Structure 1
Amino acid sequence: MRGGLTEARPTTPVRGTVQAATTAAAVLAALALVVSACAAGGTGARDEGPARGDAVAGAATASPSAAPTEASDRVDAVRLVREDPVVSAEVKRELKPCAGDEYPVDVSYGALTGGSGNDIVVNVLTCGDAIGVGSYVYRKRDGRYENVFKAEESPVYAELDRGALVVTKQVYEKGDPVSSPSGENVTTYRWATDRFVEEYSWHNDYSSVVGGDGSTESEGG
């Protein structure tokens, strides 16, 4: 385009004006094409980004879908459970190192109660079989964490799922080995003002799933 401008040598003011206008239009058209191409490339990258984020978010819901956690929100979960008067003595006895200083504790952070910070979900497991013996939710209030939920009917496991608390309790029938429960009861809770309220529940029969019959569901709450 610069070569075209150099070669243009108008002999009259009118022809010069027309030539300049034509050249300006060509420059503007070329710039418009360049800007359009850049914009299309940028939009494509931005559109692709959220799609990957959604895929990651979907996968994260299987294990709790938690809110971003700042370093200031992290706590010593083992100490929190040991010093909690709500936790039973039996669970505290299970809370011992399995190897070295590794404790059988699963900890998740996320938004459940709308408090001043992230809520904490703590699952205490056995060392040998990783069976849940206690599940707890701690809510931050006035700079301290208070126990607002507990479930100690083993085997039990709690997790966050899109702002809800999901508690799974495995069901054993007579003769079932520890590694093969007959089914599970799953309950979803939502925070309501000052406590968790059961929203709904269902039962999964493992033997039915194996036989192709699916799971049986019964709503509760």
Structure 2
Amino acid sequence: MSAATAGFAALGLLLSACSTGGSGARDEGPAHSEPVVSTAPSSSPSASVPAKKIDAVRLVKEDPKVSPSIKRDLKPCVGKAYPVDVSYGNLTGGSASDVVVNVLTCGDAVGIGSYVYRAQGDGYENVFQAEEPASVYAEIDRGDLVVTKQLYESGDSVAYPSGEEVITYRWSTNRFTESGRTRNDFGNAVGDGPTEPSVD
């Protein structure tokens, strides 16, 4: 092989490597510390990520199953940034990706509503929802739907719940059924928040 041929071959490999897109595969929902729309594609090969980003805000606002209070509170936090997290993944075994939408509060990014939408024809159908006055957040974990609910006792602040319940759901016979539940109780010291170091 001549030097010129070898150079063209190396250049071709470089260009093909640069043209490979993607930011890595994730099947869990994004962290909910920022009140912005975010997406996380699934690594599942059986359900493709939608060709274009779903308008999650419109999906929630036009959903008759969503409570009026959630719709009323779903407003931009800053500019046009709505407090929603959006994840795509394969939860229901369909040919298209399912969409998980978490609605958060603007101030402290606490989840107040979690929804799963399944592709139906040209639209989406609400196949799961959890609405909590305290805190709820749904994620995709290896093909399962995992919903975390914060537990508060009298006197707890929003930042320091007394515990949490983690509920796992699996799609079966055209609906989600609970397949596991764990409860974590947090220590009382957590609710006290950070303490200032003592000075001798």
Deviations 1:42-97 (A, max 9, x none): xxxxxxxxxxxxxx76x865857823754525310000000000000011111100
Does structure 2 conserve the Cα–Cα contact (< 8 Å) formed by 1:107 and 1:120? yes
1:66 is matched with which residue?
A: 42
- Within the candidate set 190, 193, 201, 2:173 is matched to 193
**Distance in 2 between the 1:186 and 1:65 partners?**
22
Which of 95, 120, 139 is the equivalent residue of 1:116? 95
**Do structure 1's residue 137 and structure 2's residue 87 form an aligned pair?**
no
The answer to whether the 8 Å contact 2:41/2:49 transfers is no
* Distance across 2 between alignment mates of 1:130 and 1:110: 23
- Shift, 1:142, TM fit: 1.8
Q: Which runs of 5+ in 2 are unaligned?
A: 1-23, 31-39, 191-200
Which of 152, 158, 165 is 2:131 aligned to? 152
Give the equivalent residue in structure 2 for 1:99. 78
SS at match of 2:187: helix
The runs of at least 4 aligned residues of structure 1 exceeding 3 Å deviation read 59-65, 67-71
What is the rounded CA distance, in whole Å, between the counterparts of 1:113 and 1:119 in structure 2? 7
Alpha-carbon spacing, 1:77–1:65, altered in 2? closer, same or farther (3 Å): closer
Indicate the residue corresponding to 1:90 in structure 2: 69
Letter in 1 for 2:172: A
TM-score, structure 2 as length reference: 0.71
Which of structures 1 and 2 has the bigger CA Rg? 1
Change (3 A) 1:194 1:62: closer
TM-score (norm 1): 0.64
Instruction: Verify the 8 A CA contact 1:191 1:197 in the aligned structure 2.
Output: yes
Q: Which residue of 1 aligns with 2:55?
A: 76
Query: What's the offset of the Cα at 1:116?
Result: 2.5
More helix by share: 1
Determine the C-alpha separation between the residues in 1 that align with 2:29 and 2:85.
15
**Secondary structure of 1:72's match?**
coil
| Counterpart Cα distance in 1 of 2:80 and 2:185 | 37
Distance in 1 (alpha carbons) for counterparts of 2:157 and 2:116: 29
Change (3 A) 1:60 1:82: closer
Report Cα offsets for 1:114-138 as digits up to 9, x if no partner: 1120000000000001111100000
**Equivalent residue of 1:98, what SS?**
coil
- Greater relative contact order (Cα < 8 A, sep 6+): 2
Task: Give, in whole Å, the separation in 2 of the partners of 1:107 and 1:203.
Answer: 25
Cα-Cα RMSD:
2.3
Identity %, equivalent residues = 60
Answer whether contact 1:67 1:109 (CA < 8 A) is retained.
Answer: no
- Aligned amino acid, residue 63 of structure 2: D
Kindly tell me: are residues 202 and 208 of structure 1, through their superposed partners in 2, closer, same or farther at Cα, counting changes over 3 Å?
farther
